Structure 1
Amino acid sequence: MTSPTPPAAPTTAANPPLSPLARALNAVERLGNKLPDPAILFALLMVLVWLLSWWMSSMQFTDIDPRSQQPIAIKNLLSGAALAAFASGLVTNFTGFAPLGVVLVAMLGLGVAEHTGFINAGLRAILAVTARALLTPVLIAVGILSHVAVDAGYVLVIPLGAVMFYAAGRHPLAGISAAFAGVSGGFSATFFIPSSLDPLLAGLTQVAARLSADPGAAAIVINPLNNFYFTSASALMIVLLGWAVTDLLIEPRLRKSTAVDGDPAELPKIEPLSAKEKRGLLMAGLATLVAAGLFVAAVLPADSAWRSPAGELAAAAAPLMKSIVALIFVFFLIPGVVYGYASGSIQSHADIVKGMSKAMSGMGYYIVMAFFCAQFIYAFGQSNLGALLAIKGASWLKDMAFPTGVTLIGMVLLTSVVNLLIGSASAKWALIGAIMVPMLMQLGISPDLTQAAYRVGDSSTNIITPLMPYFPLIVVFCQKYVKGAGIGTLIALMLPYSLALLVGWTAFLLGFWALGFPLGVGASYVYPLP
């Protein structure tokens, strides 16, 4: 039988009225869901970008683009050349859309594991030994840890969060929101394991620092782990914040206002494990251990083909890091297939293909949204509108000349606003950092501290912007359990997390700075003025 997730209930004496905050979030959800379908919304936004680019292309700006060292200019996307380039790149914009391949390949392996019953049985086994009340912090922590595997958390942790919550008798959308908060809201945090983001941002920070007019700036070297202590400590703070928001605000509101109405045949079961299922799990576990052992043996040698040219495994250039999605596919395919044969849930290879096909059929809506999202992101990037906003915001912050603490808050807020329009962390930092790092160095603020402030703002609003490439996918996950879920539903779910992270994480950074705790390896808070 399916788990008992109650439908929305009427207001009674036993079920008190919603709080003002819950009513406000319900209003956000209603308004958001009145927006056009996400695919059409991206198409309309693309047209708006075209019109703005045409209108603003004749304007002259004195602001210097740090990428070209020339005054920034808005490109007219309605010119003949721009339209021809757009048409010729329509297919490659779509096929080159980074999240598309990640999602589809990972879902092939997950589809087999789900179709054979491996995921369902595995989660039921986990739930049998895990306290229901601890699901939230564990899920958020796993979401933060998933950053080591680049974007794996979006296609792995978030849907499994919904399954775990539903199977435990909790609201599945609360599982999605908690997992999303860990994966994306805590994107800049890490549990004592460096992520690929660390060297990427540090490299851009070093380039930006060397743009300073200080004669000694050319010799500045930024350690890739310059924010490591801060981001590691931040992980615990994010888990505690996310736990409180989920259990005290999000799930109570969902139980009062949002009924689960997904297809019962597609929702997880909480029946006791049968003897066949236990045997299947045992064989699948053994097969996974053997496969993992063989893989580790291939990875460990110093001359392993999985290492980067410099011999590193965690570097962005290492084949291991580039193969994360392929590994997700394989390490769900193997136990899924072994479980299926051992438990008797599949009989032949045709059932394996059926599982993959079923997973792809469920991705049809996402593929349509991804097409329009890819075209919008291409147009927005080509127009330079986002870059103009970032540069104008940084210039304003410079002109205000606030005290250090206020400047750091301004840096966080600037980044959080720009983050609503530019999804790529590296693209934002390449724009903002080239201006803010050398500017704040002149105020005695180190590049390490500026980068830390950027990371706080960059993560806090990831979860409320529909322009984040994986946002449409999360909407699809929600619709599996609540058919009427839309953009407004997800924004209303994530807005409390975003505000809590923005306030709490900024205060945490200011506390770190005020108390003088080390930010990371070789990092400092102060840049010595000449």
Structure 2
Amino acid sequence: MSSQTTRPWLQRSLDAIERAGNKLPDPAVLFALFMLAVWLISWALSGVQFSEIDPRTGKPIVIVNLLDGTAFTTFMSKMVTTFVNFPPLGVVLVAMLGLGVAEHTGFINAGLRSILNVTPKMLLTPVLIAVGILSHVAVDAGYVLVIPLGAVIFYAAGRHPLAGIAAAFAGVSGGFSASLFVPSSLDPMLAGLTQAAARLSAHPGAAEMTINPLNNFFFTTASAGLIILVGWFLTDKVIEPRLKNTQVDGDPASLPKLDALTDAERKGLRYATLSMLVSGLLLIWSASGADSAWRGTDGLLTSATAPLMQSIVGIIFVFFLIPGVVYGYTSGSAKNHRAIVQGMSKAMSGMGYYVVMAFFCAQFIYAFGQSNLGALLAIKGALALKELALPLGVTLVGIVFLTATVNLLVGSASAKWALIGAIMVPMLMELGVSPDLTQAAYRVGDSSTNIITPLMPYFPLIVVFCQKYVKSTGIGTLIALMLPFSVCFLVLWSAFLLLYWALGIPLGIGAHYTFPAL
């Protein structure tokens, strides 16, 4: 089939998906409806006896009736804390305070214009995706930092801003299990769950088995190259051509322009960049000592409990607030402290719609977790895959697709793996497959469908970023934008895993393909 025939068919399909998706209710209402559905389903299934064992308790899984008096009153009493403690909410709002100042004073705009003057336009896409992958070391910071900057960079370069959002979103979220030479906080978290699952095996020696936190590091690093190349091709050859007729109708005054820097802007940029550099050096100096307060109890800077990792959002706030203020005063764009506060206020006013969506999203996720419906789905899927007794290569792909499917409803990577891994890891160990390889298969599926599920906590935020440029953006628009990435990542990354396994390339540090290790 010729490319001339394929592309129109693909574009017609994506347009149909977009139209259907945009007919869905507003995201806030959609989450509210999902929550009501969870309540009703939990009521209907609460009396059903399931034989599946919940690996978290060792007992048969039970669906909790959320309409029961105790469960409902608990839900109501925790409504405020559920919203306030919703992880993405604090991350987004605190980071946006610093970014708001840097954007309001013109620091971000001037910095990007200077970078674009020396960066070839043809390399913008791969560099943006690579930066998105690199952002994984900073936990979820990429969602509030890299993705909106992707739109700014593309628009300032004369390209469609939604294509920039798509490329950045693909790197940050679609390639969540890829890494660029730097481990992420997800590595030790998943390894710990894999170790717990491996010790459930009845195989001699399993009870003392230890999983290295970097057991997939070589594979995830190699995967970054695949994500960058596939994302580059799709952005430039599929996504951007489809967007050529999508009008950018956002507020013209708020959109970046690629004008030459004035003398005042150059002066401001020099001092602001210097202030950011000094701040970075001070952070490095304060973290370099063996007894640094930034280190965790294990002495590492990169462990999940290390103050440095837990302060990433605060660091982003400071690292953009300081140069934003310096730029404002030295360039003349900010005359006094009121302009700085105005920048923060403007950033918060733009987050009003996201806060509303976050409220209903938080309530839905809490209700879904309490009901155990997601756990039941994951366990039934894993058991069904086990009972099929497929060839090993097919089973690995089955884990990938099972995870990708469950990921549409259960966003937490650790929660999914705690359920699926407890079944799949011991099962494959009995077939001679190492937990390291099983975990690698899980990570491929866990990333691939992040970018097409409205139930992913940051999905509403990406919709808000898109609406800044194209006001009519809805859930369907974003799903249609990201679906080619999701499908290609799922298929090609699965094939890449099988090829990697067939060639026997090391998965990571202290990792093996077989069990017991040969």
Question: Which residue of 1 is the match for residue 346 of structure 2?
Answer: 358
Deviation digits for residues 2-48 of structure 1, max 9, x if unmatched?
A: xxxxxxxxxxxxx9997110010000000000000000000000000
> What pairs up with 1:381-400 in 2 under 5 angstroms?
381-400=369-388
In the alignment, structure 2 segments of 5+ residues that lack a partner are: none
Question: Which residue of 2 is the match for residue 168 of structure 1?
Answer: 157
1:272 partner amino acid? A
> What pairs up with 1:359-438 in 2 under 5 angstroms?
359-438=347-426
TM-score, normalisation: structure 2: 0.98
Task: Assess, with a 3 A threshold, how the Cα gap between structure 1 residues 18 and 228 changes in structure 2: closer, same or farther.
Answer: closer
| Alpha-carbon distance, 1:215 to partner | 2.2
2:514 partner amino acid? V
> What pairs up with 1:472-487 in 2 under 5 angstroms?
472-487=460-475
2:200 partner amino acid? L
| Alpha-carbon distance, 1:110 to partner | 0.1
Question: Which residue of 1 is the match for residue 453 of structure 2?
Answer: 465
Conserved? CA contact 2:276–2:319, under 8 Å: yes
> What pairs up with 1:125-140 in 2 under 5 angstroms?
125-140=114-129
Partners in 2 of 1:209 and 1:85 — Cα distance? 35
> What pairs up with 1:235-384 in 2 under 5 angstroms?
235-256=224-245, 258-384=246-372
State which of 40, 43, 62 in structure 2 corresponds to 1:73: 62
Task: Assess, with a 3 A threshold, how the Cα gap between structure 1 residues 16 and 170 changes in structure 2: closer, same or farther.
Answer: farther
State which of 40, 43, 61 in structure 2 corresponds to 1:54: 43
Conserved? CA contact 1:442–1:529, under 8 Å: no
Corresponding residue pairs, total? 515
Question: Which residue of 1 is the match for residue 111 of structure 2?
Answer: 122
Are residue 37 (structure 1) and residue 26 (structure 2) matched?
yes
Question: Which residue of 1 is the match for residue 428 of structure 2?
Answer: 440
Partners in 1 of 2:516 and 2:481 — Cα distance? 44
Deviation digits for residues 441-487 of structure 1, max 9, x if unmatched?
A: 11111100000000000000000000000000000000000000010
Partners in 2 of 1:512 and 1:403 — Cα distance? 17
State which of 176, 183, 186 in structure 2 corresponds to 1:197: 186
Deviation digits for residues 470-526 of structure 1, max 9, x if unmatched?
A: 000000000000000010000000000000100110000000011111101111111
State which of 497, 502, 505 in structure 2 corresponds to 1:514: 502
1:240 partner amino acid? L
Question: Which residue of 2 is the match for residue 63 of structure 1?
Answer: 52
Partners in 2 of 1:357 and 1:427 — Cα distance? 36
State the secondary structure of the residue aligned to 1:19.
helix
1:361 partner amino acid? S
| Alpha-carbon distance, 1:434 to partner | 0.8
State which of 181, 204, 223 in structure 2 corresponds to 1:215: 204
Partners in 1 of 2:308 and 2:42 — Cα distance? 41
Conserved? CA contact 2:251–2:469, under 8 Å: yes
Q: Which runs of 4+ in 1 moved over 6 A?
A: 15-18
Partners in 1 of 2:423 and 2:138 — Cα distance? 30
Conserved? CA contact 1:18–1:253, under 8 Å: no
State the secondary structure of the residue aligned to 2:12.
helix
Question: Which residue of 1 is the match for residue 485 of structure 2?
Answer: 497
Partners in 2 of 1:16 and 1:401 — Cα distance? 40
2:138 partner amino acid? A
Using the TM superposition, name which of 16-25 and 451-460 deviates more.
16-25
TM-score, normalisation: structure 1: 0.96
1:122 partner amino acid? G
C-alpha RMSD of the superposition = 1.3
State which of 57, 70, 76 in structure 2 corresponds to 1:87: 76
| Alpha-carbon distance, 1:293 to partner | 1.6
Conserved? CA contact 2:434–2:517, under 8 Å: no
| Alpha-carbon distance, 1:291 to partner | 1.6
Q: Work out the percentage of aligned pairs sharing the same amino acid.
A: 73
Partners in 2 of 1:21 and 1:143 — Cα distance? 26
In the alignment, structure 1 segments of 5+ residues that lack a partner are: 1-14
Partners in 1 of 2:303 and 2:226 — Cα distance? 27
Question: Which residue of 1 is the match for residue 11 of structure 2?
Answer: 22
Partners in 2 of 1:326 and 1:417 — Cα distance? 34
Partners in 1 of 2:300 and 2:379 — Cα distance? 36
2:183 partner amino acid? P
1:142 partner amino acid? V
2:328 partner amino acid? G
Conserved? CA contact 1:147–1:187, under 8 Å: yes
Partners in 2 of 1:291 and 1:232 — Cα distance? 29
State the secondary structure of the residue aligned to 1:519.
coil
Conserved? CA contact 2:42–2:66, under 8 Å: yes
Conserved? CA contact 1:166–1:268, under 8 Å: yes
Deviation digits for residues 280-319 of structure 1, max 9, x if unmatched?
A: 0000011111122222111111111111122111111110
Partners in 1 of 2:5 and 2:139 — Cα distance? 43
Conserved? CA contact 2:287–2:293, under 8 Å: yes
Partners in 1 of 2:331 and 2:149 — Cα distance? 21
1:125 partner amino acid? S
Partners in 2 of 1:515 and 1:524 — Cα distance? 13
Task: Assess, with a 3 A threshold, how the Cα gap between structure 1 residues 167 and 51 changes in structure 2: closer, same or farther.
Answer: same
